[in-house]
Amino acid sequence: MIDLNGPRQSSGPLAELARDVRACTLCAAHLPLGPKPILRVDARTRILITGQAPGTKVHHTGMPWNDASGERLRDWLGVDRDTFYALDHFGVMAMGFCYPGRGKGGDLPPRPECAPRWHAPIRALLPALQLTLLPGAYGQRYYLPVKGESLTDTVRRFQDFLPLGYFPLPHPSPRNTRWLRDRPWFEHDVVPVLRAKVAAILAAPSPAPLA
């Protein structure tokens, strides 16, 4: 069974912080469907996915990346669904935890309140974290020194950010199919490195359960 709520431990600093996140109403006045923060982390999480914000499907189901974008992302990572949703392997902490609403060209950007308020405290309680995936420009601009740089240029020089523990990616949305088609170097040069990196991290013994 896939645990939608995580972390698994029912007590401790991370569990308490996760409960605080899920009770957050910081930007409730701006959320058309109301606040429903989505966060999936565990103290044993080794790879963290920091994308944009939940869509309406995630808002209603609580299951992130359970769509065509998730299928493409899992293909890039070289993992199956069970591995992807195992909290000791992958965690999900988006730039915005709640569905931000709809604009003219699609969903609105992530709310700006989430990351400054919650990201650093959560990351400080992930001792097993080895790699943060940054699919999309919002996370890249927040975490990487890429001011004024295009997403294409950031992804192209992904090797520069691996020593920092970050891996920039395009968003795997079907909307980006043309971007991928026009840049075959991503599938040829970047995806194999990503799969190898992920496989090496997941091949190591799982961190011991918390006492």
The pLDDT value recorded for residue 24 is 97
The pLDDT value recorded for residue 7 is 47
The pLDDT value recorded for residue 3 is 44
Q: Could you tell me the pLDDT band of residue 207, with boundaries at 50, 70 and 90?
A: low
Task: Please tell me the class of the 25-203 domain.
Answer: alpha beta
Q: What is the mean pLDDT of residues 75-82?
A: 98
Query: pLDDT tens digits, residue range 174-199?
Result: 999 999 999 999 999 999 999 999 99
Residue 47: strand, helix, or coil: strand
d(CA 119, CA 130): 16
Q: Would you call 135 exposed, middle or buried from its count of C-beta atoms within 10 A (0-12, 13-18, 19+)?
A: buried
Q: What is the mean pLDDT of residues 95-118?
A: 94
End-to-end CA distance of the chain: 23
Q: What is the mean pLDDT of residues 148-174?
A: 97
The pLDDT value recorded for residue 105 is 78
Q: Where are the alpha helices (DSSP H) in the chain?
A: 13-22, 56-61, 68-77, 81-84, 114, 120-123, 137-143, 151-156, 177-182, 185, 191-203
Contact 132, 143 (CB under 8 A): yes
Q: Is the pLDDT of residue 10 over 70?
A: no
For 84-114, b/e burial (b = at least 16 CB within 10 A) is bbbbbbbbbbbbbbbbbeeeeeebbebbeeb
CA distances from 108 to 1, 2, 53, 105, 112 (A): 32, 28, 9, 8, 11
Calculate the average pLDDT of the chain: 93
d(CA 55, CA 60): 9
d(CA 63, CA 2): 9
69 C-beta neighbours (distance < 10 Å), count: 20
pTM: 0.93
Q: What is the mean pLDDT of residues 116-143?
A: 98
Residues 6+ apart with CB under 8 A from 19: none
Q: Is the pLDDT of residue 104 over 90?
A: no
d(CA 129, CA 79): 18
Lowest-pLDDT range of 85-89, 106-110, 111-115, 204-208: 204-208
